[in-house]
Amino acid sequence: MAAENTEPKCWLISGCSTGFGREIALAALAHGDRVAVTARNPAVLESLCASYPQQALALALDVTRPEQIAAAVDATVEAFGRIDVLVNNAGYGYVAAVEEGEDDAVRALFETNFFGALALTQAVLPLMRAQGGGRIINNSSQAGLMANPGTGYYSASKYALEGLMEALSKEVAPLNIRVTSVEPGAFRTDWSGRSMHRSERRLDDYAEHVGSRLDMIADMDGKQPGDPVRGAQVFVDIAYHPEPPVQLLLGAGVLASYREKLAGVTADLDTWQQVTLSADYPTDTGVSDE
């Protein structure tokens, strides 16, 4: 990718304890940037920060707690003077058939995956407007593009984030703020083991076609085709690209699956086109029906 410039950037990244968030932080630090790395327990970031003592700043951040969001943003600006790149990475999965969903668990999922990202974005936008630009990069998911049995609630949280950020990208583009949502496929992080919560409510009627798929997802842990180190480097490339995309898929699997979905959507549009058009008022031809 072509670079926008070589001026080091200042980052704020949520959810850096493990997985993609940690790798994105390492990639940005290796690039020579300064990074506020965050986790609910910042002690887990000590080894990362020790490797980059002049560039890394460890902060406590639970995106469901407004006071911690405000404190993290203030501390980042105090240390670095600005925030050039915000990465909304904090999030987790919740799997269940729709009928098996537990209300408290579903609401907690949205508090992190959607409302947490929204709150952090709203906290950073005034700074980016004042400084004349910035980048917001969301670590979304292939689940934000396609919904499948057992992952409907996770998809719903990511679909909501995708819609919000697509609108935001159009609102802030004139202000030199670019918004990109990245949709990784299956990557070899510990998401399936550590970050995937499963409903305790199980209904026999869904055991075969939903439960078995969820078991398969869990069994894939450590065998996913995506390389998180390579994937993390893409986030750095996007941060420096002069014209980053609004959406960017990562991985051959998600690309193939999404192309298949789009082909199906196109086929349905063609099949039902006349029904779709029939809902409008008839075109005024100047000829009376009387």
Question: Would you state the pLDDT for residue 228?
Answer: 85
Distance, in Å, from the CA atom of 183 to the CA atom of 138, rounded to the nearest integer, reads: 9
Please say if the pLDDT value at position 267 is more than 50. yes
Taking only the tens place, the pLDDT of each residue in 31-66 is 999 999 999 999 999 999 999 999 999 999 999 999
Q: Residue 136: what are its φ and ψ, rounded to 5°?
A: -120, 120
CB atoms within 10 A of CB 178: 24
- Options 3.40.190.10, 3.30.110.40, 3.40.30.10, 3.40.50.720; CATH for 10-277 is 3.40.50.720
Please say if the pLDDT value at position 1 is more than 60. no
Question: Would you state the pLDDT for residue 227?
Answer: 79
**pTM reported for the whole predicted model:** 0.90
Whether the Cβ atoms of residue 34 and residue 80 lie closer than 8 Å to each other: yes
Q: Any bridge partners for residue 60, and if so which?
A: 39
Nearest CA to 150 out of 201, 191, 112, 111 is that of: 201
Taking only the tens place, the pLDDT of each residue in 144-181 is 999 999 999 999 999 999 999 999 999 999 999 999 99
Question: Would you state the pLDDT for residue 3?
Answer: 43
Site of tokens 């951040």: 61
Whether the Cβ atoms of residue 109 and residue 152 lie closer than 8 Å to each other: no
- Confidence band for 195, pLDDT divided at 50, 70 and 90: low
User: What secondary structure does DSSP assign to the chain, as a single string?
Assistant: ---S--S--EEEES--SSHHHHHHHHHHHHTT-EEEEEESSGGGGHHHHHHSTTTEEEEE--TT-HHHHHHHHHHHHHHHS---EEEE----EEEB-GGG--HHHHHHHHIIIIIIHHHHHHHHHHHHHHHT-EEEEEE--GGGT---TTBHHHHHHHHHHHHHHHHHHHHHGGGTEEEEEEEE-SBSSSHHHHSEEE-S---GGGIIIIIHHHHHHHHTTT--SB-HHHHHHHHHHHHH-SS--SEEEESHHHHHHHHHHHHHHHHHHHHTHHHHHTTSPPP--S----
Q: Please identify every residue annotated as catalytic.
A: 140, 154, 158
Every domain of the chain and the residues it spans: 10-277
Amino acid identity, position 282: P
